[in-house]
Chain A
Amino acid sequence: MHIELRGISKHFGEVAANADVNLEIKAGEVLALLGENGAGKSTLMKILYGFYQGDSGEIVIDGTTVEIDTPRTAMALGIGMVFQQFNLIPALSVAENLMLAYPKSPWWQSRHRPVWSTVLENLTKLARDIDPSKLVRHLAIGEQQLVELAKVLNLNAQLVILDEPTAVLTPQESERLWALVRQLADSGRSVVLITHKFEDVEACADRVAIMRAGRLVEVADARGKTIDEMVTLMMGQHQVAANPSVKSPQKDIQKLWIKSISAKDRRAAIVDIELQLAPGEILGIAGVAGNGQRLLADAVAGLAVLDNGEVILDGEVVSRLGRQPVNPNRNSKIGYIPEQPLENGVASDLDLTTNLSLHRLVGMPFFPKKQTEQAQAQKLIDEFNVRPSDPTKLAQDLSGGNLQKLVSARELSGMPSLVVACYPSMGLDILSTRAIYEQMFKHAERGACILWISEDLDDLLQYAHRIAVLSHGKITGILPAASADRQTIGLLMTGARKTA
């Protein structure tokens, strides 16, 4: 199948997500669509998939202009897409999920019917080791991705679009995926790989198309470009702000002791985590998302049920065995920036004033003064540059990045002894990221401990004093950031325990 996108433009309000993009996708090739977050890669592919309609331009398949108004049309034309958010039902089995999406599924579906083997054929080719009777809920993210891919292949897709497929994978899972992508291309299908990682391009792409700010800036043979060239094309020539500095911690005193804690809930488990932090120390937690980060952060912040161990801060137990007692004073000692601030960090249907005063709520006078609260909120909003800057706006009306700033404003505004931060720069541009880092590291300079969970290895290597790697709920190694390298950390992320 040969596809041409001609003069595609798409605006969201004022913002031009795509501006006059011309792109060719050849049969049997792997095309890497490279660009920073917000460069317009996903939008372009969603237009091809019928998820969005372009404002102008046309799509030509094998010489015929086609109108793709819905994903169903795209599927009928042989175009399939695997999103970052999978379209799988966790409570159904792998086989049931595939059957649900199978176009010719029979009405009667007894376990013994031969149709099951047809439905499972593509999955078996992709991954022999996935048990089709397992519930999707019990699969690892990488396995779910393969099920989703099998679903798309069952629709007989001739073009497969993968949206940031390796973002959620361990290095080993990524390698398996690259090999599969090559196989698909060798069997005559086309693959578009939306990515911002150069290793994806190097590992399996035939050609690379680079986008910046909604425009296609370069299309070239993948082997013809060096990483430096690609970086320049992706980023443009903009100035990077000066990095915040990080002071070395006071080494021998121990301020935070995470004492062999274990916990589990429906989605994750952590086992026997032992960490000690000195005053002013920044400890980075690296690992693929979904390996227990959220539970670890909750446990340290005193919000999870511990099956074992305790957490001691400044000689005081903040988190102990069993259910945590509701502790109104927790907020003065611990600043906690949870992952997914909309679900975990704000009361979304309440105004910014309330959301910014949550950590002080218990100590307020019984009839709080509205003006005082609003003035305090306004101060934080201005300091952390939250937009819109109106304290009477509801939290749910904020963008992801501004929610992140809102939660940071609340959690980093006091004098915490411990800051637990999960992906604090999620959804933020470079300048805002620097600003949040500065606020965070300010507390380290004051002598507070920082437990910093991140997927961005470069940032961790640059700012953290030590990096602990979390895999399958266990700490597989702790390295001083100065002497750590990506390869070792990548290996630890797969669960290989570091040998002394």
Chain B
Amino acid sequence: MLDSSAFNISDLTVSSLRSSTPILLAILGETLTQRVGIINLGVEGQMLVGALAGFAATLSFGNPWIGLLVGALAGVLMSSLHAGLCVGLKANQIASGIAVLILGMGLTSFYGIPYVGQKIHGFHHLLSAHWQTVPILGTFVSQLTPTVIIGLIATPLVGIWLYRTRTGLIWRSVGESVQVARATGINPAFVQVQGVLIGGFFSGFAGAAMSVDYTRDWVENMTGGRGLVAVGLVIVARWNPFLALPAALLFGGSEAFYLRLQTAGVAVSPYLLATIPYVVTLLVLLVSYYLANKEGGAPQGLTAIFR
């Protein structure tokens, strides 16, 4: 018998948003990176490093905000490796991304050992006192955590920045054609480095959001492929930051859904249920590739390296 209280709409929405947030932030970052014509498969490694650094910083400073910042900066540090290899040395982007991924996995499982099993407090529910009294919406808003709100605000900001500012236009043009950008007087390498580093910032922040705000602990390989899923979901979102939220909700929503199924006591192995978000993402990826083949839409600079 299923426990129907597990499927309260407001609760499910909040838990979907919470589990989507890390992946949403990672998608936003990778969207910016891919928009300048660079693919970074190292997002997973950057997230792991961000998660560990953020967790450790929160633990020693006692302040989750510092944790988020440190996590994001750790992500920048990891991505600077990718930037140096791909933009500086023109290395193969796939290989370089995998190198970052391997390093990230190794470093975090090596230096993460003392943190396994530790607990942090995370954020206080900042808004709770005020909002709890408002009917219906109150409980909903009071459960939102800071990183969820940051993610929800960042999405339109990135979109507006990309489509409504000169720098956004320059970034898009670099991703479409390095030659034309150069002929226009833009320094493409400079823009591409920025794109990779800002992607690193977002993915490090995403990792920290996961360890500091979502699970509030550190486990080896805790991102569980979310960084790679994010790379796939960038394609699903058609390189459009505004579509990053629905794309992230595909994964986060199905994760929240299976966790609810589990707590509701459904008689299917939890290990089998855990495959749901991955299967859903893969299926959606197939569909969007099918559609993309008809319509296109990828930054032209990417198609040479990444078909």
Within 8 A of B (CB), among A105-142: 105-110
Expressed in whole angstroms, the Cα–Cα distance for A92 and B180 within the complex equals 12
The answer, yes or no, to whether B176 is at the interface (CB within 8 Å) is yes
The answer, yes or no, to whether A332 is at the interface (CB within 8 Å) is no
Taking CB atoms, residues of chain B closer than 8 Å to A105 are: 166, 169
Stretch at the interface among A95-103, A211-219, A273-281: A95-103
The answer, yes or no, to whether A72 is at the interface (CB within 8 Å) is yes
What is the distance, in angstroms, from B31's C-beta to the closest C-beta of chain A?
A: 15
CB atoms of A109 and B176 under 8 A apart: no
What is the distance, in angstroms, from B292's C-beta to the closest C-beta of chain A?
A: 12
The answer, yes or no, to whether B216 is at the interface (CB within 8 Å) is no
CB atoms of A109 and B166 under 8 A apart: yes
Taking CB atoms, residues of chain A closer than 8 Å to B167 are: 107
Expressed in whole angstroms, the Cα–Cα distance for A107 and B170 within the complex equals 11
Expressed in whole angstroms, the Cα–Cα distance for A108 and B166 within the complex equals 6
Expressed in whole angstroms, the Cα–Cα distance for A91 and B297 within the complex equals 8
Given contacts A92-B173, A92-B176, A72 and B185 within 8 Å (CB-CB)? yes
Within 8 A of A (CB), among B177-233: 177, 179-180, 183-185
Within 8 A of A (CB), among B139-189: 164-167, 169-170, 172-173, 176-177, 179-180, 183-185
The answer, yes or no, to whether A266 is at the interface (CB within 8 Å) is yes
CB atoms of A101 and B165 under 8 A apart: no
CB atoms of A89 and B165 under 8 A apart: no
The answer, yes or no, to whether A88 is at the interface (CB within 8 Å) is yes
What is the distance, in angstroms, from B239's C-beta to the closest C-beta of chain A?
A: 10
The answer, yes or no, to whether B300 is at the interface (CB within 8 Å) is yes
Taking CB atoms, residues of chain A closer than 8 Å to B170 are: 100
Expressed in whole angstroms, the Cα–Cα distance for A109 and B165 within the complex equals 5
Counted as pairs of residues, one from A and one from B, with CB atoms less than 8 Å apart, the total is: 46
Cβ-defined partner of B300 (8 Å) among A91, A108, A109, A110: A91
Expressed in whole angstroms, the Cα–Cα distance for A90 and B166 within the complex equals 18
CB atoms of B169 and A109 under 8 A apart: yes
Expressed in whole angstroms, the Cα–Cα distance for A68 and B228 within the complex equals 48
Binding site secondary structure of chain B = helix
Within 8 A of B (CB), among A318-361: none
Expressed in whole angstroms, the Cα–Cα distance for A105 and B165 within the complex equals 10
CB atoms of A87 and B164 under 8 A apart: no
The answer, yes or no, to whether A388 is at the interface (CB within 8 Å) is no
CB atoms of B165 and A108 under 8 A apart: yes
Taking CB atoms, residues of chain A closer than 8 Å to B164 are: 108-110
Task: Identify the closest chain A residue to B300 (Cβ).
Answer: A91
CB atoms of B300 and A87 under 8 A apart: no
CB atoms of B176 and A89 under 8 A apart: yes
CB atoms of B166 and A92 under 8 A apart: no
CB atoms of A107 and B176 under 8 A apart: no
The answer, yes or no, to whether A71 is at the interface (CB within 8 Å) is yes
Expressed in whole angstroms, the Cα–Cα distance for A356 and B98 within the complex equals 38
CB atoms of A100 and B169 under 8 A apart: yes
Cβ-defined partner of B173 (8 Å) among A71, A89, A108, A110: A89
Binding site secondary structure of chain A = loop
The answer, yes or no, to whether B270 is at the interface (CB within 8 Å) is no
Complex interface bits, A416-451 against B, C-beta within 8 A gives 1, otherwise 0: 000000000000000000000000000000000000
CB atoms of B166 and A101 under 8 A apart: no
The answer, yes or no, to whether B84 is at the interface (CB within 8 Å) is no
The answer, yes or no, to whether B265 is at the interface (CB within 8 Å) is no
What is the distance, in angstroms, from A305's C-beta to the closest C-beta of chain B?
A: 12
Taking CB atoms, residues of chain B closer than 8 Å to A107 are: 165-167
What is the distance, in angstroms, from A441's C-beta to the closest C-beta of chain B?
A: 39
Expressed in whole angstroms, the Cα–Cα distance for A89 and B171 within the complex equals 12
Within 8 A of B (CB), among A35-82: 71-72
Taking CB atoms, residues of chain A closer than 8 Å to B179 are: 87
CB atoms of A91 and B176 under 8 A apart: yes
Cβ-defined partner of A99 (8 Å) among B169, B183, B185: B169
Taking CB atoms, residues of chain B closer than 8 Å to A87 are: 179-180, 183-184
What is the distance, in angstroms, from B249's C-beta to the closest C-beta of chain A?
A: 27
Task: Identify the closest chain A residue to B296 (Cβ).
Answer: A266
Instruction: Count chain B CB atoms within 10 A of each CB in A91, A105, A108 and give the residue with the most.
Output: A91
Task: Identify the closest chain A residue to B182 (Cβ).
Answer: A87
CB atoms of A88 and B180 under 8 A apart: yes
Expressed in whole angstroms, the Cα–Cα distance for A88 and B297 within the complex equals 16
Given contacts A89-B173, A100-B170, A71 and B183 within 8 Å (CB-CB)? yes
Complex interface bits, A214-234 against B, C-beta within 8 A gives 1, otherwise 0: 000000000000000000000
What is the distance, in angstroms, from A79's C-beta to the closest C-beta of chain B?
A: 14
Within 8 A of A (CB), among B281-307: 296-297, 299-300
What is the distance, in angstroms, from B143's C-beta to the closest C-beta of chain A?
A: 35
Expressed in whole angstroms, the Cα–Cα distance for A107 and B169 within the complex equals 10
Taking CB atoms, residues of chain B closer than 8 Å to A108 are: 164-166
What is the distance, in angstroms, from A150's C-beta to the closest C-beta of chain B?
A: 14
What is the distance, in angstroms, from B227's C-beta to the closest C-beta of chain A?
A: 27
Taking CB atoms, residues of chain A closer than 8 Å to B165 are: 107-109
Taking CB atoms, residues of chain A closer than 8 Å to B300 are: 89-91
Task: Identify the closest chain B residue to A83 (Cβ).
Answer: B183
CB atoms of B166 and A89 under 8 A apart: no
Cβ-defined partner of A100 (8 Å) among B184, B297, B299: B184
Given contacts A96-B169, A107-B165, A109-B169, A89 and B296 within 8 Å (CB-CB)? no
What is the distance, in angstroms, from B264's C-beta to the closest C-beta of chain A?
A: 46
What is the distance, in angstroms, from A173's C-beta to the closest C-beta of chain B?
A: 23
CB atoms of A101 and B172 under 8 A apart: no
What is the distance, in angstroms, from A482's C-beta to the closest C-beta of chain B?
A: 45
Expressed in whole angstroms, the Cα–Cα distance for A106 and B166 within the complex equals 7
CB atoms of B184 and A101 under 8 A apart: yes
Expressed in whole angstroms, the Cα–Cα distance for A99 and B167 within the complex equals 12
What is the distance, in angstroms, from A176's C-beta to the closest C-beta of chain B?
A: 25
> Contact residues of B with A, CB < 8 Å?
164-167, 169-170, 172-173, 176-177, 179-180, 183-185, 296-297, 299-300
Q: Given contacts A100-B170, A105-B169, A108-B165, could you give 11 more A-B pairs where the C-beta distance is less than 8 Å?
A: A87-B180, A88-B180, A89-B173, A89-B300, A91-B172, A91-B176, A99-B169, A100-B173, A107-B166, A108-B164, A109-B164
In the complex, 28 of the A-B residue pairs with CB atoms within 8 angstroms, ordered by the A residue number, are A71-B183, A72-B185, A87-B179, A87-B180, A89-B173, A89-B176, A89-B180, A89-B300, A90-B176, A91-B172, A91-B297, A92-B172, A92-B173, A96-B169, A99-B166, A100-B169, A100-B173, A100-B184, A101-B184, A105-B166, A105-B169, A107-B166, A108-B165, A108-B166, A109-B165, A109-B169, A110-B164, A266-B296
